[in-house]
Amino acid sequence: MYDTIIIGAGPAGLTASIYLQRAGKTALALEAMAVGGQIRNTPEIENYPAIAKISGMQYSDDLAEQAKALGATIKRENVKSVQLVGDVKTVVTRNATYQAKSVIIAVGAKSRELGVEKEEDLFGCGVSYCAICDGAFFAGKAVAVSGGGNTAIDDALFLAERCSKVYLVHRRSEFRAEQIKVEQLKSKSNVELVLGYTVDALEGEDCLQGVVVKDKQGGTRRLDVSGLFVAIGKIPNTDMFQGQIDMDDQGYVVAGEDCKTNVDGVWVAGDCRAKRIRQLTTAVADGTVAALGAVEYVRG
């Protein structure tokens, strides 16, 4: 019987592990993929306070080592099912069944991909899913953004302040984003709206050298860019919690700034929480808040 089981060992989950260990609680962190989460795939991190520059892999390794040095238990196991309601929480993996007094959900969210050839190969070498994270690497260069919602517009506005040219590629003639943001974007002299097009192909071997877009009639156009920012949404990894916990219509777990869910003894942290901003700093903040909440709950 653990005090807390953390489902997910990315920045939010590992931060929660650190705080639980420092509070003298027994905790188990379970991670299906690589320990450290998706941030491992980020070539460079330059926006984390007090760390001028670090690779995502190095950051993840350092965070995991810090947690382990404090005595954290981290296991590479894929969670198959959970039972969250009740005083005793049960988490079932392929290898074992674990029980705890509390649970922190930190399963993250994956970026929705375009599904075009070379997308995976060029990730981190021109293809990005986070303009705030990677935009600075394309200062003075031409880039493209794919999407039509608020995130895509925000990304394009952010990039327009740094890049020589920004193409916004959207499959419709109208945007789903707030109109005031769209008008702001239209006022930018270095932004070109490429409406009625979708990304059809990526050019380049080691790094992105261009993007081919296609309209509904099959006509194509090549955009000479060195960066492509995909902003067509994220998919939270929360399917296993359906029916047990409150979620919004996109599958994000509903919780306020206290990270407490509607189920007693269950918290949520990181990118799978329903919120506006999803950054490395907000993930570790959630991990801190959730862990301290769990500590208080276990103490009674």
pLDDT in tens, the chain (300 residues): 999 999 999 999 999 999 999 999 999 999 998 899 888 877 788 889 999 999 989 999 999 999 999 999 999 999 999 999 999 999 999 989 999 999 999 999 988 999 999 999 999 999 999 898 899 999 999 999 999 998 899 899 999 999 999 999 999 999 988 899 899 999 999 999 999 999 999 999 999 999 999 999 999 999 999 999 999 988 999 999 999 999 999 999 999 999 999 999 999 999 999 998 889 999 999 999 999 999 999 998
| CA–CA gap between residue 52 and residue 62 (Å, rounded) | 15
Domain termination site, one of 205, 230, 255: 230
The reported pLDDT for the residue numbered 176 is 86
117 shares a domain with 106:
no
The reported pLDDT for the residue numbered 266 is 98
173 shares a domain with 87:
no
The pTM is what? Answer: 0.77
Active site residues: 130, 133-134
The reported pLDDT for the residue numbered 34 is 87
246 shares a domain with 103:
yes
Domain termination site, one of 195, 230, 265: 230
The reported pLDDT for the residue numbered 158 is 93
CATH code assigned at 199: 3.50.50.60
Residue 197's domain comprises: 113-230
> How many domains does the chain contain in total?
2
133 shares a domain with 66:
no
